[in-house]
Amino acid sequence: MNSALAVFAHPDDIEFVAAGTLLLLRQRGWEIHYLHLSTGNCGSTQLGPAATRRVRRREARAAARILGAHFHPPWCDDLEILYDVKTLRRVAAVVRATRARIVLTHSPQDYMEDHSTTCRLAVTAAFAHRMPNFRTVPARRPYGHDVTVYHAQPHGGCDPLRRRVAPGAYVQTTAVHATKLRALAAHRSQQDWLAASQGMNSYLQAMDDQSRALGKRSRRFQHAEGWRRHSAQGFGTPGADPLREALGRDYRVNRADEATRDPAG
């Protein structure tokens, strides 16, 4: 069975930018996996870190169930996701355990370091999927088939220097948008936190607005998620685009952006 793994930083990151794509893959018979590296322990103005960890883990498990995804528990804390070999070995173990053909993760440049570091870890872990001499913790056997990494849109559609980032492709999420909203709503504790920390009066409305804006940019879809495909060099077959193969008409290449890419990648 084909397998897709989402590797993101915090509880609710997947629901904001990747859950629609996961749902579409599941509809097409793919096995989907859900990993956020951080416990989300800093995501509250009312609860202490231990209580926040418990609440956010419970919410994330509920969201994964709504998506029909296999839940993989986190082990880092907020602002403590570091690019080190200890963390890399654990992320690589999840990649190998899932035998992922697709890895979805953050943009290489995003507004906070937890996102960017998680991206680096996910990319390296995917790169190591077939290296028997790289030891994972726990130990997992390498596998030989291709892995294709896709990067989600950064927060606000811009890099940290406020430059706009164009998706390489759009995935139509209109048909699964209601389920995506329901999964995000499972993260109930984040309404007060995101309002206080990032000015999101409604985190559900913020996600809805974001998906509509991407749909409008696609010039075809009502709701969309945006993706950029990582170079295939070292990961698998040049030009491989399994999301396009799997999703068909729900996947639209951004021709203006693709014209600037290496066609062999």
pLDDT at 213 over 70: yes
The length of the chain in residues reads 265
146 lies in some domain:
yes
68 lies in some domain:
yes
- Residue 122's CATH number: 3.40.50.10320
**Residue 263 — pLDDT band, cuts 50, 70, 90?**
low
264 lies in some domain:
no
pTM (two decimals): 0.95
The whole domain housing 227 covers 3-258
30 lies in some domain:
yes
Dist CA 95 CA 145 (whole Å)? 12
pLDDT at 196 over 70: no
CA angle 97, 102, 104 (to 5 degrees): 100
First and final C-alpha spacing in the chain: 25
Q: What is the pLDDT of residue 203?
A: 80
Dist CA 263 CA 258 (whole Å)? 8
Task: Give the model confidence (pLDDT) of 142-160 as tens digits.
Answer: 999 999 999 999 999 999 9
Which of 4-18, 32-46, 182-196, 245-259 has the weakest average pLDDT?
182-196
134 lies in some domain:
yes
168 lies in some domain:
yes
- Give residue 30's identity as a one-letter amino acid code: W
234 lies in some domain:
yes
pLDDT at 40 over 70: yes
22 lies in some domain:
yes
| Structural domains in the chain (count) | 1
**Residue 46 — pLDDT band, cuts 50, 70, 90?**
confident
Could you list the beta-strand ranges (E) of 117-223: 148-152, 169-172
